[in-house]
Amino acid sequence: MSRKTLIILFIITVAAIAATVLIRTPRQDSGPMAQGPYFPALLARSNDVRKAIVKDPESTTTISNDDGQWVIEEKGNYPASIDKVRELVLGLARLQRLEGKTGNPDHYARLELDDVSDPDSTSKLVQLVNGSGSDMAVLIVGKEKRTQSGSFRRQFYVRSPGDPQAWLVEGLLPDLNGAIAWMDTSLLGPDWGDIRSVTISTGADSWTVARDSTEKEAYTLEDLTPNEEVESQYIINNIVRSFTDLTFDDVRPAPAAGEKTDRTEVVAQTFDGVRVGLTLNKQGDQFYGRLTAGYHPTGEPNESIEDAVSKHNDLWRVWEYVLPGYQVENIIAPRESLIKKEVEAPAEQ
């Protein structure tokens, strides 16, 4: 047999072996490698979105555009944060396909891509709807893939309902966990001026922390007797700080006026003449709060302050807020807890 014939036979043998290996090797559990936007037409039509729906096995959150105002339907049409709605719409529009993954439904669970109709599912179903009720984007969002530390963009496993193909995508999406994720939970925010005083009143007592100038950072507890000394300046300042930074954990429509119960009143006064009142009721271990605001300037009224007070009153008057216990307890710390305890001298032996 010639050398040329041997070479040809060798090549044919290698090719046959390779073909056999390819046939017998199990197909890798991954799909196509096509890249690009997941929703190619969404960015150009993002202004047409009129409703966003987020579902999981336990809850549905519907954020809808009510005459120009985004509201959360399941929370009595409480205002949604426009920034968070925009983050969702643009986040979906800018999602980029990186790599096709499994098309086998038996493997969805490890990517957290089971249908939300499955009570054991940990996925989220996100749906964007236009004004005519047509879907603009629908996506099952699953597990986030860990990326290199410091990476700005994030990676998620996703798939479209009815399509078995799962994908690894890259982009930025907001927190999708519950209605509270779509609210601006800061109650006061940056609209208020510098706090001059905070007064706490219970049925039996009342006390005030105050300062007489914006140049002073430290507040003082008023009406100290000659024998009294504050326990900690930090605790005094923290009353004001906690009031200014007050947030809420949940919200509900304000209940109708009922019988008067024991409650705590907190009133903050600013140097600009704004008065913010917080009425607290405790039910079990939970604090509920109602807020009001007024403006009584000592000089020429400031139109922007008037507008801020009016805007907040329009919102606050119909809502009752579920407040974090640690923040409330910082604000209404009993007066006796603010006073340094006397140390008894040791008894003589």
End-of-domain residue from the set 161, 182, 203: 182
The answer to the question of residue 322 being in a domain is yes
Asked whether residue 27 is domain-assigned, the answer is no
Residues 46 and 174 in one domain: yes
- Same domain? For 64 and 147 the reply is yes
Kindly state whether residues 168 and 46 are assigned to the same domain.
yes
Q: What is the model's pLDDT at position 298?
A: 83
* Structure confidence at residue 179 (pLDDT): 94
Beta bridge partners of 69: 66
Measured CA to CA in angstroms, residue 15 lies from 8, 20, 339 at distances of 11, 9, 90
Shared domain for 207 and 148, answered yes or no, is no
Spatial distance between the Cα atoms of 208 and 221, rounded to a whole number of angstroms? 6
55 neighbors 140 (Cβ within 8 angstroms): no
Q: Please report the pLDDT score of residue 147 as a whole number.
A: 76
Residues 268 and 152 in one domain: no
Domain identity same for 206 and 109? no
Q: Which of 131, 153, 182 is the last residue of a domain?
A: 182
Same domain, yes or no, for 213 and 326? yes
Which of the listed residues 131, 147, 182 is the one where a domain comes to its end? Answer: 182
Whether residue 345 is contained in a domain is answered as no
**Residues 333, 197 within the same domain:** yes
One domain for residues 42 and 159:
yes
Q: What is the pLDDT of residue 150?
A: 60
1 is a domain residue: no
Structurally, the chain folds into a number of domains equal to: 2
Q: Which residue, among 210, 212, 200, 185, has the nearest Cα to 331 in the 3D structure?
A: 200
Strand order in the sheet with 96-100: 36-37, 96-100, 166-171, 154-159, 135-145, 124-130, 49-55, 60-66, 69-72, 78-79
Q: What is the pLDDT of residue 133?
A: 95
pTM above 0.95, yes or no: no
Pair 166, 44 in one domain: yes
Same domain, 302 and 177: no
Question: Both tokens of residue 202?
Answer: 């219970």
Looking at residue 12, the DSSP 8-state letter turns out to be: H
Give residue 19's pLDDT. Answer: 42
Residue 3 lies in a domain: no
The pLDDT profile of the chain, 349 residues, written as one tens digit per residue, is 554 444 444 444 444 444 443 333 333 344 555 689 999 999 999 999 999 999 999 999 999 998 889 999 999 999 999 999 999 999 999 999 999 999 999 999 999 999 999 999 999 999 999 999 999 999 999 999 987 766 677 999 999 999 999 999 999 999 999 999 999 999 987 667 799 999 999 978 999 999 999 899 999 999 999 889 999 999 999 999 999 999 999 999 998 765 555 689 999 999 999 999 999 999 999 999 999 999 998 888 999 999 999 999 999 999 999 999 999 999 999 999 999 886 444 555 5
Pair (302, 322) in one structural domain: yes
Nearest to 277 by CA among 168, 182, 198: 198
Q: Which domain holds residue 230?
A: 189-338
Whether 228 maps to a domain, the answer reads yes
What's the confidence (pLDDT) of residue 277? 96
pLDDT of residue 52: 98
Domain assignment present for 266: yes
Query: Are the beta carbons of 80 and 73 closer than 8 angstroms?
Result: no
Q: Quick one: CA torsion of 244, 250, 252, 255, rounded to 10 degrees?
A: -60
